[in-house]
Amino acid sequence: MKHLATFFLFFGMTCLASSNWPQFRGEGGLGIGTGEPLVTFSAEKNLKWKVEVPHGHSSPCVWNDKIALTGFSEGKLVTFCLNKADGRELWRVAVPATKVEAAHRIGSPAAPTCCTDGEKLITYFGSFGLLAYDWNGKEQWKKPLPAPVVEFGTSSSPILAEGKVILVVDQDVRSYMIALDVKTGAEVWRVDRKEFRRGFSTPFIWKHGGEQELVVSGSLWTRSYDLKDGRQRWSVAGMSRVSNTSPIGTEDVLLVCGWNVGGDEDDRVEMEAYDTFLVAQDHDKNGLLTEAEFPEGPLRDRFTIIDADKDGRVTKDEYNVMRAMFAKAENQLCAIKPGGSGDITKTHVVWSQKKQLPYVFTPVVANGRIFTVKGGGLASAYEVESGSPIYQGERLELASGEYYASAVTAGNRVYVVSQRGVISVLDATSDKLSVLARNDLKAPVFASPAIVDGVIYIRTDTRLFAFGQ
């Protein structure tokens, strides 16, 4: 009887144990929540709690009874922790950054999401680097890193795998990826990614067939690496010029999505040969090109991208690198089968779609389908196995605008959030676009939601909401 009582006690504790959301887009980066989340909610309806939080775009990192976020408050970058039950702030620590990096006009210097293994809480700020805390806010280690060379600020989040903190720093010069020991912060390996330009997507651990590999989506290429030592395994070409979305996957396929200006066949950005352009535009005849010497249009609009080292002048090498990137860029959503080695572009891409692609929004898989939303509120769903459209480019009524938050799913529902703060709840089982509810928070949303034990956590520009029964 004693053993039986012990069993039931353990069983009961197991059943009551909370689920977690340990990184950007939750467990495994898949955007899959737990429990049965609500369909309808608002600032007044089905609200468990709401609290004021510092401005930031990082998403909730949830472990047991605590929630970690980052923010920018009173000129300081901070990591802070809330009580999951009521949103009460438990602690806040400032980052020892001497200078806050620049960010996009609608961006934030506190954009990367924290990650955790339950013991260490890892945060990353482009303005400083990586830091590790315990869940009481005590610093465990820190790894200062140079601020990325990109005027829009940092976005890619760190992830944890096999006892390592993985961070991708794709920038306009000197891109790299590092792995640190989660216990000590010591560098385990480093990969030179200098051929890649700016990128904002978070790396993904693709698990299939009893193995796992580290997948990074970057400019023009998606690549796989060995988690043990960072050795490159395979590459797939034909990607967008700037990677904003993150890969996701199933046991059978890896799904990669990317869109950026100049990557559609009917909307190419073409750059003429450098020597021809120089003769026509180098008005002071010094062999270098300034922003004022670029003609008005798409090239001048992207001068700060072409000017890789940000010295205000474009050299021949900088010009030619960007010219080649515009020529090779390809916007698509594609599926890649496992088992490849080397360049597998022609052998392992099983299907692709090139219309109605999202810009920053990372898709989600539910009920054997992949769901996306393009800016303007145009929703699409495809069969994961074949890529066949279930519906494509269907408008989400009363939910237009851009979509910077990524999709999440739970209970056969898909939750997509517009920049304006409208959360559309889609039926993942319907063979046509079926919107179960539209929930308007009437505030800007850039952070992706988290769904833990049926509770939906959503961060607006100034608040964190918890919705649930």
Write the pLDDT tens digit of every residue in 87-125. Answer: 999 999 999 999 999 999 999 999 999 999 999 999 999
pLDDT band at residue 469, thresholds of 50, 70 and 90? Answer: confident
Tell me the average pLDDT across 423-452. Answer: 98
Q: DSSP strand E in 294-421: where?
A: 332-336, 342-343, 349-353, 364-366, 369-374, 378-383, 389-395, 408-410, 413-417
The secondary structure of residue 407, as a DSSP letter, is: P
Cα(first)–Cα(last) distance of the chain, in Å? 37
Q: Give the span between the Cα atoms of 425 and 414, in whole angstroms.
A: 6
Write the pLDDT tens digit of every residue in 161-193. Answer: 999 999 999 999 999 999 999 999 999 999 999
The pLDDT of residue 160 is above 70: yes
Tell me the average pLDDT across 331-352. Answer: 97
The pLDDT of residue 63 is above 90: yes
Whole-number pLDDT of residue 13: 36
Q: Give the span between the Cα atoms of 234 and 258, in whole angstroms.
A: 18
CB 442 within 8 A of CB 421: yes
Percentage of residues in the chain having pLDDT higher than 90: 95
Q: Give the span between the Cα atoms of 108 and 73, in whole angstroms.
A: 11
Amino acid at position 387, single letter: G
CB 69 within 8 A of CB 80: yes
In terms of Cα–Cα distance, which of 88, 48, 49 is closest to 66?
88
In terms of Cα–Cα distance, which of 77, 84, 64, 169 is closest to 123?
77
Average pLDDT over all residues of the chain? 95
Tell me the average pLDDT across 4-17. Answer: 38
pLDDT band at residue 18, thresholds of 50, 70 and 90? Answer: low
List domains and CATH numbers for the chain. 267-327 (1.10.238), 355-469 (2.40.128.630)
Tell me the average pLDDT across 57-64. Answer: 98
Percentage of residues in the chain having pLDDT higher than 70: 96
The pLDDT of residue 7 is above 80: no
Q: Give the span between the Cα atoms of 400 and 422, in whole angstroms.
A: 9
In terms of Cα–Cα distance, which of 323, 346, 417 is closest to 379?
417
Write the pLDDT tens digit of every residue in 181-237. Answer: 999 999 999 999 999 999 999 999 999 999 999 999 999 999 999 999 999 999 999
Give the total residue count for the chain. Answer: 469
